[in-house]
A = this chain, B = another copy of it.
Amino acid sequence: MDKIYEYIKKDRALNHAMNLLSFDLETQAPKQAIEGISDTMEVLSQLSYLNFVNPEFKELLYSINTDELSDIDKKIIKKLKKNIFEKMSKIPVEEYSKYNALISKASYNWEKAKNENNYNIFKPYLKEIIDTNKTFIGYRGYKDHPYNVLLDDFEDGLTVEQADKFFNLLKEELSPFISKVLKYKDSKISEWKEKLNSKTYDIETQKKLCKELSQILGFDLSKGVISESEHPFTTNMNNKDVRITSHYHEHDVLSGIYSIVHETGHAIYEQQVSDEYDKTGILAGGSTMGIHEAQSRFYENVIGKQEEFSYLIHELIDKYFGIELTKEQLHLVINDVSASFIRTDADELTYPIHVLIRYEIEREILSSEVDVDKLPAIWNDMYEKYLGIRPNSDTIGILQDSHWSGGLLGYFPSYAIGSAYASQMYHAMLKEFDISKAIKQRDFSKINEFLKETIHKYGSSLTPDELIFNCSKEKFNPHYYVDYLKEKFSKLYNIEGE
């Protein structure tokens, strides 16, 4: 095991360097530095790949008698075998490199296609990405459904069978409910929103507000950094160096605030991983994508958009800028529901529908020979069917997300599943203490402590199923999500009979 730890130490160091390079690129590197950074990333990622994928390491890994190991060491060996030799090494190196080159070109051309609203520019790359993924799935082998391989990459253990059940529930329960909410929506909410956004919010002052807010939530600045980037994100070098970014808009103060709340959720998770797992590298950091999104969306939506939290936001905006809306009006603006085209701007209630649409398209792509020419129309039809709106351009339609151009097929479902996890976590937490009262008292330590003890401290040593059971003492149950949304928005919009 000591030898294994030597390899892990090198892996951790290279990942640390690569994460810092990416963070630097997104936040402050000068424009002309890009080429140098990408050259360095290429070398480091090759070193990192070859560190594990080589005959000596493979022999070492498979020669270890796991019976005599500690539980943690057993998990390390299992994960190394799964991630390195069951996934990566089945794909021939040349094909993998070729795929990475394809991704670079695809990303560039996706951006061009999006900016020029011209799907044809992106189309051939999308086709090649889909085809290559199918080939890779063939190499790796699958059970029941080829899509299962990709779902499992992002959400450990997730299958089409489970995902179908989950998304069908959303379709049946949420779709009609959303129509009702939109019908009953108070037109004054839009007026209040406009009033809030008519002011100019100085960016430097917004940063101060967001820093205070993030610290109130429990982000520890002795183990973290808050910075700025085009798209907000969280990254971490280890549990003592977690970095979040936000993006601020002069005429939309809530955008920067909720980005910070979302990223703070990711960050608190990373900061609360126990040293025991952090130092192993392999079991460090958060668990799956879905579990990570559950933490960020728990803070952003479940906690961050309830009454008492809206009042806290009201207090902070008033302190830094002054505010004309009442706290009750702000609460409604924060929870404004509308059918919109862009997933990342969507409200808490309609958000999963955007994900559902992507899930159904991906499943279709992986099941059969889909004609890429027809995908934009399929996309638009689904928006019309589920949200009652039809995009009038591909820029706000199929070209809006970067994921497919980056080869990330199978990634989207975890966004919605994360939200569902968050509702179940909330349900479990409510049994323990009065959450609303804790928020009112600006005391987030109870919330953080509960999540630390039931989820965060385990790093990535447990599966989503294990973590959800740990936290809620029951299996994953998506009904909590549907019930939570319907109850919350029925109350907010005075909808009876739900």
Chain B residue numbers with a CB within 8 Å of A44 are 13, 17
Quick check: B17 and A21 within 8 Å, CB to CB?
A: yes
Quick check: A12 and B40 within 8 Å, CB to CB?
A: yes
Which of these, B24, B33, B241, contacts A240 with CB under 8 Å?
Answer: B33
Complex CA gap A29/B225 in Å reads: 7
Q: Does A28 contact B (CB under 8 A)?
A: yes
User: Which residues of A218-254 have CB atoms within 8 Å of chain B's CB atoms?
Assistant: 221-225, 227, 237-238, 240-241
Q: How many identical chains are in the complex?
A: 2
Quick check: B10 and A241 within 8 Å, CB to CB?
A: no
Which of these, B20, B43, B225, B241, contacts A20 with CB under 8 Å?
Answer: B20
Tell whether A30 pairs with B222 under 8 Å between CB atoms, given A16-B40, A44-B17: yes
Q: Does A64 contact B (CB under 8 A)?
A: no
**Contact flags (1/0) for A13-33 with B, using CB distance below 8 Å?**
110110011001000111111
Complex CA gap A455/B9 in Å reads: 42
Quick check: A31 and B222 within 8 Å, CB to CB?
A: yes
Complex CA gap A31/B221 in Å reads: 8
Q: Is the interface of A mostly helix, strand, loop or mixed?
A: helix
Quick check: B225 and A30 within 8 Å, CB to CB?
A: yes
Chain B residue numbers with a CB within 8 Å of A12 are 39-40, 43
Q: Does A345 contact B (CB under 8 A)?
A: no
Q: Does A36 contact B (CB under 8 A)?
A: yes
Complex CA gap A10/B29 in Å reads: 21
Tell whether A10 pairs with B43 under 8 Å between CB atoms, given A24-B24, A33-B223, A222-B31: yes
Complex CA gap A24/B240 in Å reads: 14
CB distance from A393 to the nearest CB of B (A): 32
CB distance from A23 to the nearest CB of B (A): 9
Q: Does A47 contact B (CB under 8 A)?
A: yes
Complex CA gap A12/B237 in Å reads: 22
User: Which residues of A87-104 have CB atoms within 8 Å of chain B's CB atoms?
Assistant: none
Quick check: A223 and B32 within 8 Å, CB to CB?
A: yes
Chain B residue numbers with a CB within 8 Å of A28 are 225, 227
* Pairs across A and B, CB under 8 Å, 21 listed: A9-B39, A10-B43, A13-B44, A17-B20, A17-B44, A20-B20, A20-B21, A20-B24, A24-B24, A28-B225, A30-B221, A30-B224, A30-B241, A31-B222, A31-B223, A33-B240, A35-B240, A36-B240, A36-B241, A37-B237, A37-B241
Given contacts A9-B39, A10-B47, A40-B237, 18 further A-B contacts (CB under 8 A): A13-B40, A13-B43, A14-B43, A16-B21, A17-B20, A17-B40, A20-B20, A28-B227, A30-B223, A30-B225, A31-B222, A32-B240, A33-B223, A33-B238, A33-B241, A35-B240, A36-B238, A37-B237
5 shortest A-B CB distances, which residue pairs? A13-B43, A33-B241, A17-B17, A32-B240, A13-B40
